[in-house]
Amino acid sequence: MELPTVSGQELALWRDRAKQDAIAAGVSPDEVDWLLEEVADLDKLSLRLESFKERSQIPLKQPLSVLTELWQQRLQDRMPVQYLAGVAPWRHFSLKVATGVLIPRPETELLVDLAVRAIQASPTPDLASGYWVDLGTGSGAIALGLVEALPNATIYATDTSAEALAIARQNAIALGFGERIKFCQGSWWSPLEALKGRVSGMVSNPPYIPTSEIARLQPEVARHEPLLALDGGSDGLDCIRHLVETAPDYLCPGGIWLIEMMAGQAKQVVQLLQKRGCYDKIQIFCDLANIERFALAYRC
């Protein structure tokens, strides 16, 4: 199907107006350019230098009238721009997203690097080539990071959300990893009974926001991201507690347990791991904003 087109001049006028409206609504005007990169396939340089203005025809994935409606949704409904564009950048992937999945966050990218470092730091042989699981896969981001970083591993990804799994599967196929990630619907480990005692590593970014705090999050998150991806119960630790409790049945000796958590949860997560009595070398890592964000442990 032929794409709609617009002249560079017309698009420049639309962009200026959209940026002014963004500023008036307290939204970063840079998001306009991010949206244009996605829907008009313009690169950062041509947007910064405004060289696109000279072009007589710029193909758009959506007509300008639809873009205007989308931008109004961004400003009035506080719909995140990634949902409007239908994609989110994560590591060097461009992942499909929709309102049924959490928008993968930049800090979560570090989980993949931490998993690789944990393997390198471990005396247990063959951890890089065994079974790895991403529990609560959402868009499939972590599973995709792992499959690329661990070329000899077999990756399983679970989620209770059928909508999330459908998107994760599409992302895996689009990136050429459809054969290497096995997606299973179900709660945490429950679809993976057959892997008991054999898993080299578990990575998860579970829901960890205390229920009472969700309504106070930015409207972009509270109104539009799936509650199932956010709500960690009364103290935010329900899912993490479950993963501490259940993982020892599935991890091989020396296997890696690695999660993302919220600021302020590190001390309690360390206590939970210690109390379980099946983990050693428990460590906390910070994200790029220096927030204690990740907990790592090895199955004894």
Cite the annotated binding site by residue number: 136-140, 159, 188, 205-208
For residue 110, the minimal CB distance to ligand SAM (Å) is 11
Task: Determine phi and psi for 102, rounding to 5 degrees.
Answer: -65, 140
Does position 211 bind ligand SAM by CB under 6 A?
no
Residue from 40, 205, 252, 258 that binds ligand SAM (CB under 6 A)? 205
Does position 142 bind ligand SAM by CB under 6 A?
yes
Which residue do the tokens 């002249």 mark? 7
Angle in degrees, CA 277, 280, 285, rounded to 5: 120
Q: Which residues are annotated as a binding site for S-adenosyl-L-methionine?
A: 136-140, 159, 188, 205
Task: Determine phi and psi for 175, rounding to 5 degrees.
Answer: -95, 5
3-state helix, strand, coil in the chain (%, to 5): 45, 20, 35
Q: Which is nearer to ligand SAM, 79 or 164 (CB)?
A: 164
Does position 225 bind ligand SAM by CB under 6 A?
no
Question: Which residue from 161, 164, 167, 134 is spatially nearest to 149, judged by alpha carbons?
Answer: 134
Quick note: the x/- pattern for ligand SAM over 100-139, rule CB under 6 A, is --x-x---x--------------------------xxxxx
* Cα-only R_g, the chain: 21
Does position 82 bind ligand SAM by CB under 6 A?
no
Q: Please state, in angstroms and rounded to a whole number, the distance separating the CA atoms of residues 177 and 129.
A: 16
Q: Which is nearer to ligand SAM, 11 or 87 (CB)?
A: 87
For residue 193, the minimal CB distance to ligand SAM (Å) is 14
Residue from 32, 141, 144, 155 that binds ligand SAM (CB under 6 A)? 141
Question: Which residue from 43, 205, 266, 106 is spatially nearest to 95, judged by alpha carbons?
Answer: 106
Does position 64 bind ligand SAM by CB under 6 A?
no
Q: Which residues are annotated as a binding site for substrate?
A: 205-208
Q: Which is nearer to ligand SAM, 91 or 299 (CB)?
A: 91
Between the alpha carbon of residue 184 and those of residues 2, 137, 166, 193, the distances in Å are 37, 10, 10, 12
The DSSP secondary-structure symbol of 277 reads: T
For residue 40, the minimal CB distance to ligand SAM (Å) is 27
Does position 164 bind ligand SAM by CB under 6 A?
yes
Residue 134, classed as helix, strand or coil, is strand
For residue 17, the minimal CB distance to ligand SAM (Å) is 33
Task: Determine phi and psi for 140, rounding to 5 degrees.
Answer: 90, 5
- Chain residues that interact with ligand SAM, rule: CB under 6 A: 102, 104, 108, 135-139, 141-142, 158-161, 164, 187-188, 205-207, 228-229
